[in-house]
Structure 1
Amino acid sequence: MAEGKDDDSLYKINEGDHVMLKRGDVYKAVQIQSKKKVVFEKQWFFLDNAVGHLYSTAFEIVSGGQLQPVKPKDVPSALSDTKEAGTDNRNIMDDGKSQKLTRDDIETLKEQGLKGQEIIQQLIDNSSTFRDKTEYAQDKYIKKKKKKYENTVTILKPTCRIMALMYHGREPGKICYLRFDTLAQMLTLANIHAGSKVLVFETCAGLVLGAIMERMGGYGSVIQMYPGGGPVRAGVDNFGFPAHFHDTLHDFPICHVNALLAGTLETSLKDPEAPHPDVAAKEEPKMEQHDTPEDAENMETNDNGEQRTDDERERGKHAKAELKKVKQEEKRKKLAAAAAQLKDMNADGLVIASRFHPCSVLMCLLRFLSPSRPFVVYSQYKEPLIECFTKLKEQGGTVNLRLTDTWLRHYQVLPNRTHPKLLMSGGGGYLLSGITVSTESSGRTNSEEPVPKKQKLAES
C-alpha cells in the first residue's frame, strides 16, 4: 500500500498491493500486477479485474483466466438442501460403477461453460448411490467435489496470522515449524507495542519480523540482528507495509556485536567488511586460462559492437567506482544508524526465533535491554532452551523465567458432530521467557525448574 490513500481505498484492492489468495485451507502470497499470470492450485488466472473490489471478496475464474466477483445470491443452496437420505451406508458398495458420468463427459461439461457447482449437481443427479447415503455422507461427498471442481478464489489482506498459516501449511521448515498460536504468544510475552524499541534475531524468512512490525504499526524502532551476508526479509515483503514502516527498521550484523560492545566498531569506513584500500589495490583481476587475447578484445566493445576507446573505458570504470562508492556509503550509514540505536543499551524487548543454538545469542543480546524488560526465545526443541534456562539461573539478572510448551487442538463444531479433528499439529515448539533486572537485583531470581508447562488452547 502506498501512503496518502483515503480511508476507503485502504479496504479496496489496488494495483501493486500484496495480497493473499485463499481456497479452502490453502494460501498463497502474490502481488497485484497488470497482465501477470498467477498459478494457484493448478489453475491460472489474471488479477486485473480484482482491482477496485473490497478485500475478502470471492471471485470465480471464468474463461480466459479472468476473475468475476461472486455475489451471495449466485451461490445455489440446492446442493446442501437435499432431503432424500438413507439411514446408513451398509448396502453401498464402492465398486466404481455408481457414477454414470465419465471423465470425458465432465470435460465436455467444462467446455460447454458449466460452472463448478453446476457440474457438482450433474454428478449428484447421475450418481446411483447418492440418495441412499446418510446426510453426513452426502455433505462429505459434496464438500469433496467442491474442492475439486469449484473454481473460486478469495483475496484477503495479508496479516501475520494468515502469513503464519500459509508458511506452516506449505513450507514449515522455512519458519522452524513456528505455529501461529506460538507466534501470538511471542508477541504478547515480549510486550510488542507501538513506540517501543525491539531487538529481533530470527531465521524464519522474515515472518517474526513482519509480525512485530505489524503489531508496532510503524511507530518505534526495530533492530534486526542478522547472521551471514545480509538480512532475509521475504516474509516482510509479503505484508506490503507502507514506506514509513520501513523507516523504523534497522539491521545490524551479529558478527559485529562484540566489536560494538568493546567500542572498537569502526563506522567511518566505506565498508567495514571490505578489505583495506591498499590491499584491494594489489588484487587485480586475472584472466582465465581459456581466455584468449581475442576474447579479451571482444569484451572491450561498446553497444554498437565497436571497440571501446580509452575515454569510454575510463568513463565505464569511473561509473562503476561511483556506483560502488554510493552503495558502500549507504551501507555505512545504515550500520552507523543501527549502531547508534544499540549503543544506548535501552531496548524494550528481545525476540529470538532461530535455527541456530540460542544460548550464546541470548547471553550476548541481553546486554542491550533495559532493566525490567521482557525477552522471549523460541526453539523447535526444548533442550537448547533448558540450557539457556540453566545459564540464566547461574548468571542472574533475570526473573520470572518460564519454559512453556503450547498445545493446540482444532475442533469441529457442528450439530451432533462436535469432536476434535483427527489431523492436528504434533507440537508448536517451546518458548523461554523472562524479565531482565538490574545487577543489584540479580540475587532475587526465582528458583523455578526448567520443566515445560503445558498450555492448552482450543479453537473452533
Structure 2
Amino acid sequence: MDMEEGPSKTPQNTRHETIQVGNTLLLKLPSGDIKTWKLEKDSTANLGKFGSFYANELVGQPFGLTYEIVDKKLKAVSPRTLQEVEDTEATNELINDGQFVQPLTSEEIEMLKKSGLHASEIIKKQIEQHANYSLKTEYSKEKYKKRKEAKYSKSFTVVDPTVFNVCDYWFNKDQNRLRDIRPDALGQILNLANIRPGGRYLAVDDASGIVVAGMLERLGGRGRLITVCDVDSPPAYPAMVHMNFTKEVTQVLSSLNWATADEDYTPSKIKSDAQKSRLNKRKAVSETLNQTREELFAGEFDGLVVASEYDPFSILQNLSPYLAGSANIVVHSPYIQIVTDLQNQLRNLPQYLGAAVTEMWLRRYQVLPGRTHPFMNTSGSGGFIMHTIKVYDPS
C-alpha cells in the first residue's frame, strides 16, 4: 500500500482540483523519500541530486501525476503498467557481486550524467557491461533496474493530498507527533465517530491536527466543528497545511481554549486606554469567540473525538454535557492503560453505553503480478481506541 498515484479523485470539493500558487505539496522522489515544498509564484524548486525546476510549471496541473525534469522544465510521465515477470530456471547462487562486476566507474557514470545522457540510457549501459546480469533471476533484474532508477532518474510525483496520504507522511516522519495515529487508526476513529457532512462535532486534537484534518475532509464544508485546545490563539495544526483546504471547508472550524470553554469564564477587566484601543481592534475576534462559546453551551453535538495528552476522563467530564443523546465518543491513545482505565470508569456511569477498547493492527502488502506478499517490516502499533455512546441519564 503505497501513496496513491494518478489523477486525483477526491469525492468532495475540499480543495481545488488543480495545483494552485500557495499550495504546500508533498513531492515523492525516486528514492521513495517525501519532500514537503510550498509552491510560490516565479520561484525555483530544488530537489537536490534529482534536479530543479520552475515552480510555475506545476500551476494548474492536477495532483497525483509524475513528472520528469528536463532543463528545469517538467514533462508529464505516463503511469507505468504492471507487467508479469516470467519465471525462468536462472538462480542467483553463482553470482559473485565483486568489485569488478560493473566495469563502469563512478567517475565515468558522473561524466555520462554531466553530458546530459538520459537516466534510462545510463542504466542500459550499466546493464550491458554488468558481468553477471544475465545470471540473475527475472525478479532480481527488476529489482536491479528499480534501484538504478531511484539513483539516476530525475523525476518526482506530486502526492495527492488525501487524508490517508497526509497521515501516512506524518506517521513515517514522526509518529510521536501524531500520537501513533496511523492511517488505518484515523479511519477507525472517523468511522466510529460517524463523521458525516452536516454533522456537528467537538474535538480535542493534540496530534498535529491530523484528526481535525480528517474530520474537515469528511464534513466537506457542511456542518460544524469546534476544537478545544490549551493555547490562547487558534492552534497551529501542521498536518492541515498539506491538505490545501479551501476556505469553504475551513469556515466550519472554530477553536476555544480550556479557559474560554468554561461556562464560568469572564474576560479580564479593562484598566487603561491602551487596553481599550486593543480591545476595539479585536472586537470582531471577541464577537466570534462569544458566538462560539454560546454555540458550545447550547450543546446537542453529534460526537466527540479526543486524541490528547491530558486525562481523557476529565475531558469527558467537561465536554460530554454538550453532547446530544446517542452521540459517539471516541478516545485514542498510544497507551492501552489510558483507555482501559477510562473504560472501567465509564462502566460505572449510566450515561455511557457499551464502552469498548480496540487495538489497531495493520499489515501492508506488496501487490504485484506474481509477487504479492506482505512486507517484512511493519509498524508496531497504531494506538488504542475507546468508543462509547452517550445516553441521557434517566435519573
The answer to whether the 8 A contact 1:195-1:221 is kept is yes
**Aligned partners of 1:376, 1:170: CA distance in 2, in Å?**
25
How far residue 190 of structure 1 moved from its aligned partner, in angstroms, is 0.4
Residues matched between the structures, number: 379
Q: Is the 8 A contact 1:86 1:133 kept in 2?
A: no
Q: Which residue of 1 aligns with 2:10?
A: none
Residues 42 and 390 from structure 1, CA distance in 2 versus in 1: closer, same or farther, beyond 3 angstroms?
farther
Q: 2:42 aligns with which of 22, 35, 42?
A: 35
Change (3 A) 1:76 1:217: closer
Bigger shift: residues 127-136 or 40-49: 40-49
Contact (CA 8 Å) 1:203, 1:232: kept in 2 or not?
A: no
Residues 116 and 150 in structure 1, CA contact (< 8 A), matched pair in contact too: yes
Partner amino acid, structure 2, of 1:265: Y
- 1:381-392 matches, cutoff 5 A: 381-392=335-346
What's 1:69 paired with?
A: 76
Q: CA deviation at 1:156?
A: 3.5
The amino acid of 1:401's aligned partner reads A
Matched with 1:406 is 360
Give 2:336's aligned amino acid.
K
Q: Tell me whether 1:243 sits opposite 2:251 in the alignment.
A: no
Q: Which residue of 1 aligns with 2:97?
A: 94
* Structure with more of its chain in helix, by fraction: 1
Structure with larger RCO (C-alpha < 8 A, sep 6+) = 2
Q: Distance in 2 between matches of 1:253 and 1:106?
A: 58
> 2:324 aligns to what SS in structure 1?
coil
Q: What TM-score, normalized by structure 2, do the two folds share?
A: 0.87
Match of residue 206 from structure 2: 203
Instruction: Write the letter of the residue equivalent to 1:30.
Output: W
Q: Secondary structure at the match of 1:408?
A: coil
Structure 1 residues 39 and 175, CA gap change in structure 2 (3 angstroms): farther
Task: Give the match for residue 9 of structure 2.
Answer: none
Aligned to 1:233: 237
2:294 partner letter: A
Give distance in 1, aligned partners of 2:81 and 2:187: 38
Q: Using the TM superposition, give the Cα deviation of residue 186 of structure 1 relative to its aligned residue in structure 2, in angstroms.
A: 0.6
Q: 1:182 is matched with which residue? A: 185
8 Å CA contact 1:84–1:131 kept in 2: the answer is no
C-alpha separation between the residues in 2 aligned to 1:123 and 1:357?
59
Identity %: 28
Report what 1:311 is aligned to.
none
When Rg is computed on C-alpha atoms for both structures, the one with the higher figure is: 1
Give the Cα–Cα distance (whole angstroms) in 2 for the partners of residues 430 and 42 of structure 1: 41
8 Å contact kept, 2:366–2:374: yes
Contact kept, 8 Å, 2:84 with 2:369, in 1: the verdict is no
State the AA in 1 paired with 2:364: H
Q: 1:342 pairs with 283, 296, 304, which one? A: 296
TM score, norm. by length of structure 1: 0.76
Q: Return closer, same or farther for 1:11/1:205 CA change in 2, 3 Å cut-off.
A: same
Task: In structure 2, give the amino acid aligned to 1:88.
Answer: T
Please say if residues 28 and 166 of structure 1, whose CA atoms lie closer than 8 Å, have aligned partners that are also in contact. no
| DSSP 3-state at the match of 1:417 | coil
- Structure 1 residues 104 and 184, CA gap change in structure 2 (3 angstroms): same
1:172 to 158, 166, 175: 175
Q: Is structure 2 residue 4 aligned with structure 1 residue 50?
A: no
Compared with structure 1, are the counterparts of its residues 396 and 46 closer, same or farther at alpha carbon in structure 2 (3 Å cutoff)? farther
- Specify the code of the residue in structure 2 equivalent to 1:413: V
Using the TM superposition, give the Cα deviation of residue 433 of structure 1 relative to its aligned residue in structure 2, in angstroms.
0.5
**How far apart are the structure 2 equivalents of 1:414 and 1:47?**
34
147-156 or 339-348, which moves further after superposition? Answer: 147-156
Q: CA 1:239/1:412 → structure 2, altered by over 3 Å: closer, same or farther?
A: closer
- Displacement after TM superposition at 1:430 (Å): 0.4
